[in-house]
Structure 1
Amino acid sequence: MRIGELARLTGVSARSLRYYEQQGLLHSTRSSGGQRYYTGAEIARVGIIRRLFDAGLGSRVIARLLPCVDSDDPDIAEGAFSTMIGERDRLTADITRLAEARDALDALIEANTRYRLGADRDGPGPAEEGLHRAS
């Protein structure tokens, strides 16, 4: 099937399919005129690639995971599993850092809100709280 048909069947743009191929995630054969042709197996592969992108993985990580789709080798499967665990741990650490940043911002917003309402006029001002009041 040609790229337009694969795009229609998978809901992925032709541009994305070309990107997947450029990154080594997807494979096609070429006609003498240079048109891409895909097998039916590529429909399932695109589905897997989309799920991995949706899980927050980048194309380099996905390229490391895809060999387990094409192989029954337990070592390859174990490597892919370890990669997924590592990526989940990276995402968890990112979530923790973002939550801490949000909590710090919430504290600044709360202090600024109290100051603006006059509740802290006798306490530390915005400069002492690390804030700068706009004139």
Structure 2
Amino acid sequence: MEQRYTVTRAAEILGVRASVLRYWEEELDLHINRNEQGHRYYTGYDITLLANIKELKKRGLALRAIKDVIPKIAHTVPGSTDSRVKLLEGEKAPDERMVEFQRILERLITQEMQMKKEGEVECRSLDAAIRRRQLARKEAAAALERKRGRRRT
């Protein structure tokens, strides 16, 4: 039988609060299994998925960006009755799924980092323009003060 983890144990393994796991489940529309009493339980796959989500968050990706990739990596657990999407249209072995998942995550991370880098360049350019404008105003104000000082004497 597959190892099952409670929300508390999964949170300990991942180093996050249980409320974070519940929040991610809701925001990312994750389908976490529940036992007969309705309590969440996490499988090894779920723990790996959540660890990758945590890493993406750590690298600065927004949940919205992460949510876009989740349907590509979720899969139907053999024998389960939930409605998870199959990974990339076909059944692959679990190890192949994780390799594909890692590739997708790396591509997503690379794209997000490139967008951040481009945004930083634009911000630096804008900051430089604002500083030049402030300096020009300061110099103009100083020149006006000198001119006024000469008229008074």
Larger of the two Rg values belongs to structure: 2
- Residue type of the alignment partner of 1:45: L
Q: 1:87 aligns with which of 112, 116, 119?
A: 112
Gaps of 5+ in 1: 124-135
Moved more, 94-103 or 83-92: 83-92
User: What corresponds to 1:18 in structure 2?
Assistant: 22
Q: 1:24, 1:62 → 2: CA distance? A: 8
Q: How does 1:113-124 map to 2 (within 5 A)?
A: 121-122=145-146
Name the SS of the counterpart of 1:31 in structure 2.
coil
Q: 1:62 aligns with which of 60, 66, 70?
A: 66
Give the percent of matched residue pairs that are identical in Structure 1 and Structure 2.
23
Which has a greater percent of helix?
2
User: What corresponds to 2:42 in structure 1?
Assistant: 38
Shift, 1:57, TM fit: 1.6
State the Cα deviation string for residues 64-106 of structure 1 (Å, max 9, x = none). Answer: 3343486448998887666545433322221122212322343
Shift, 1:54, TM fit: 2.0
Gaps of 5+ in 2: 76-86, 88-95, 148-153
Tell me the TM-score normalized by structure 2.
Answer: 0.57
Shift, 1:3, TM fit: 0.8
**What's the RMSD between the two structures over aligned residues?**
3.5
Count of aligned residue pairs for this structure pair: 122
Shift, 1:21, TM fit: 0.9
Q: 1:64, 1:54 → 2: CA distance? A: 17
Name the SS of the counterpart of 1:16 in structure 2.
helix
